[in-house]
Amino acid sequence: MTCMEPDTIKRTLTGLELRIGSRLPWSVYSPQGTLLLTEGTLIRSEKQIESLLNIKAHYYRSTHPGVFAPSEEPKSATLKAGTFVITHTLLERLEDTFELRHQKEAGSAFIRRIMQLVFDIQAVCEENPDAMLGTMQLIVEAPHGLVHPLHAAMMCEVASCRMGRGPLDRFPLVAAALTHDLGMYELQQELFEQSSPLTPQQRQIIDEHPQKAYDLLLQREVTESRWLLPVLQHHERIDGSGYPAGLVGNNICRDARLLAITDCYSAMIRPRAYRNQVLPRDALREIFQQRGSTIDAALARLFIDVMGIFAPGTLVQLSGGELALVTGRGDNLDQPKLALITNRLGARLDSPRPFTLEDSREIKSIERIQDHAELIALLGHVWPAMTPIPSAF
């Protein structure tokens, strides 16, 4: 944190104009180096601004060419947005949509907003699927009740696209992924931060949440069974050990079996108060080991093929001591595409350097991104800037 590379400028927040409705143009850290907010986060209240100023936070301005600060007004339709900005926009719109879940007076607005989100997810995943999947793994400060369903939705979209399914065929599954945990939305962040055992009331909410989400969608006049069934069945397991109905094998719809895999993976790789993050490679190994028992074997192999042995967004240390970020899968599962972030001495490079790793044995270890939070200001720029999506519906 004390050594600034040429492409990064450190400033206190007194030099950065913060106003409600604007997006942070750069990632913000505490003086101790803790990541507070990533680039693209929307400033929503005076209280948020006050809290940042009170802790004397710092921002890191990355000056990579071709990347436009989110607070700048677009001068032409050709301007691009960083993947952090796009992800935060989707998270904010998902939060606004979830606020309508119990409002009967909102009419069909809830369904319309979910449908628009699906269209936008399909668009960004078509443009650069690895960038979106990787960025979702790097967003560590967003509420679990938002980042988890968005991550699951993107993984479902990319996996089902790789299966050769058309956009309209994929649409209900992505909508289901966005809404599969609505039955426990209010409880999710509490559970994410809780280190004590579940209370009986919490256990009941968890056990009932697939049915509650299904019922809530019915109340919002969702009638498409290909949307509803994956929501109801995403905790069923092919050996009959799941819930709420204990269904077995092909009695569980195929989309629910795929959603179950993305749901498990996204939950495992995010740290909880009671445990550290499960490293992405270990999460993929767990899915592989469960294939054919609790998890559909063919879909498990497809999922690992989509993600690669080293999933996009995985931080690795190479045998020479350099740190690199996995940006995508190469032609072979064990030959990932990487972006070199630091040199052998640990100093940040002027800009990430892309390359394809020819031998995965050169990867010495998988690193936890939380242990290298000072790098996140750069990691959002390892992928090319993309076509922006509207901030509001």
What burial letters (b/e) apply to 61-100, b meaning 16+ CB within 10 Å?
A: bbebeebbbbbeeeeeeeeebbbbbbbbbbbbbbeebbeb
Let me know if 26 is exposed, middle or buried by CB neighbors in 10 A (0-12, 13-18, 19+).
buried
- H helix or E strand, kind and range, residue 316: strand 315-318
pLDDT (average), residues 321-344: 91
pLDDT (average), residues 361-390: 86
Does residue 64 register a pLDDT over 80? no
Q: Scanning the structure block, which residue is given the tokens 């005076």?
A: 46
CATH architecture of structural domain 83-307: Orthogonal Bundle (1.10)
Residues 341-369: pLDDT tens digits?
Answer: 999 998 888 888 999 998 888 999 999 88
Residues 82-135: pLDDT tens digits?
Answer: 899 899 999 999 999 999 998 887 778 999 999 999 999 999 999 999 999 999
pLDDT given for residue 74 in this prediction:
41
Residues 264-320: pLDDT tens digits?
Answer: 999 999 877 666 778 888 999 999 999 999 999 999 999 998 898 899 999 999 999
Let me know: does 122 contact 174? Beta carbons within 8 Å.
Answer: yes
Average pLDDT of the chain?
85
342 φ/ψ angles, rounded to the nearest 5 degrees:
-130, 165
Position 240 confidence tier, pLDDT thresholds 50, 70, 90:
very high
For the chain, the structural domain boundaries read: 8-62, 83-307, 315-379
Position 57 confidence tier, pLDDT thresholds 50, 70, 90:
low
Let me know: does 152 contact 180? Beta carbons within 8 Å.
Answer: yes
Residues 131-173: pLDDT tens digits?
Answer: 999 999 988 778 899 999 999 999 999 999 999 999 999 999 9
Full-model pTM: 0.84
